[in-house]
Structure 1
Amino acid sequence: FVHPLDEIDVQSAVKCAIKLNFPITARSGGHSSEGYGLGDKDCYLVVDLRTLNQITVNITSQTAVVGTGNTLGSLYKELQQYIFAFPAGVNPSVGVGGHMLGGGLGLLNRRFGTSSDNILDAQIVLANGTVVYNSKKYPELFWAIRGAGNAGYGIITYLTIKIYPIQKI
């Protein structure tokens, strides 16, 4: 297991895995029913993203930049301080990375769409170790992460998401 502190650590882990010819996998919260966050029976390098747990909320633009190591509970707790919400699942211990990239179903989906519908941008460490963060420069990659699930295009370290103000009743 590797516990990166930032995208540079993830980049180093990817480059190391390439050099040593190790398969590599990312773990956001570890809730994969298929066990993807544990690798396989072969020796995998697991990049455990739980240390990438920063959240930056911008109430003016109604967006948040979320480290993929956060849980849904930590995201909801942070958004609650600003009286904002995000359409995602109900289990607070699920990792946001796997949940959002897997579609992200939850109680607010009818009103705001799925979690993946609300991803505006992503920082990705590609399989060759390059770090990219620009949905406009890489539209095919951005399209894929918003609908193709956790298909292994790279390791996503941060997501920029659309958040919604909670209306008074």
Structure 2
Amino acid sequence: FNKRVIHFPVAFIHPLDEIDVQSAVKCAIKLNFPITARSGGHSGEGYGLGDKDCYLVVDLRSLNKITVNITSQTAVVGTGNTLGSLYKELQQYTFAFPAGIDVKVGVGGHMPGGGIGFLNRKFGTSSDNILDAQIVLANGTVVYNVKKYPELLWAIRGAGNAGYGIITSLTLRIYPI
């Protein structure tokens, strides 16, 4: 999107699950490479490529599972999904989620940064509706239930992707329409 942002990552890693993400983080630590996650790759500033050369880029697009629970009105969404894939899945159940309008934007980058869209006045921002998450911390530890760590849950509900780890899935509150 932005031709002034030219970065050359050292490698792209395409994990299939959180264990692969954990391995990537541990590899980056061992090799002393900075690491960044890319969900949809939509950032106009190239955040999914790191802020300089020689980053390991963890491309999350294969983490694209969505599990909808109509009874609890929740969805567990892999951060490799786009908003479009989330909307399409929720539509099958006549549910909606407050997020942006560009269907190509990645869930993993959009939601922790706030998530502004047409349904915000009724249901809040995307980050307001994050109930839980699975995250690989910057030290390589996998946290399967962020609710047990209130400060971490608070951070992923609006602080953006501030370097505390790589979010692999989000549990979201969804709304019947």
TM-score under structure 2 length normalisation: 0.92
1:127 aligns with 2:138: yes
Which residue in the other structure is 1:148 paired with? 159
Which residue in the other structure is 1:104 paired with? 115
Q: CA deviation at 1:86?
A: 0.2
CA distance in 2, matches of 1:18, 1:135: 22
The one-letter code sitting in structure 2 at the alignment partner of 1:161 is L
Q: Give the one of 82, 89, 97 matched to 2:100.
A: 89
Aligned length: 166
The one-letter code sitting in structure 2 at the alignment partner of 1:121 is D
Moved more, 70-79 or 38-47: 38-47
Cα displacement string for residues 74-110 of structure 1 (whole angstroms, at most 9, x for unaligned residues): 0000000000000000111000110101100000000
Which residue in the other structure is 2:41 paired with? 30
Q: Give the one of 24, 27, 32 matched to 1:16.
A: 27
Moved more, 83-92 or 133-142: 133-142
CA distance in 2, matches of 1:28, 1:74: 13
The one-letter code sitting in structure 2 at the alignment partner of 1:37 is G
CA distance in 2, matches of 1:40, 1:111: 36
Cα displacement string for residues 8-42 of structure 1 (whole angstroms, at most 9, x for unaligned residues): 00000000000000000000001112211011332
TM-score under structure 1 length normalisation: 0.96
The one-letter code sitting in structure 2 at the alignment partner of 1:42 is D
Q: CA deviation at 1:137?
A: 1.6
CA RMSD between the two structures? 0.7
Q: CA deviation at 1:135?
A: 3.0
Q: List alignment gaps of at least 5 residues for structure 2.
A: 1-11
Which residue in the other structure is 1:6 paired with? 17
Q: CA deviation at 1:116?
A: 0.2
Q: CA deviation at 1:149?
A: 1.3
CA distance in 2, matches of 1:42, 1:127: 19
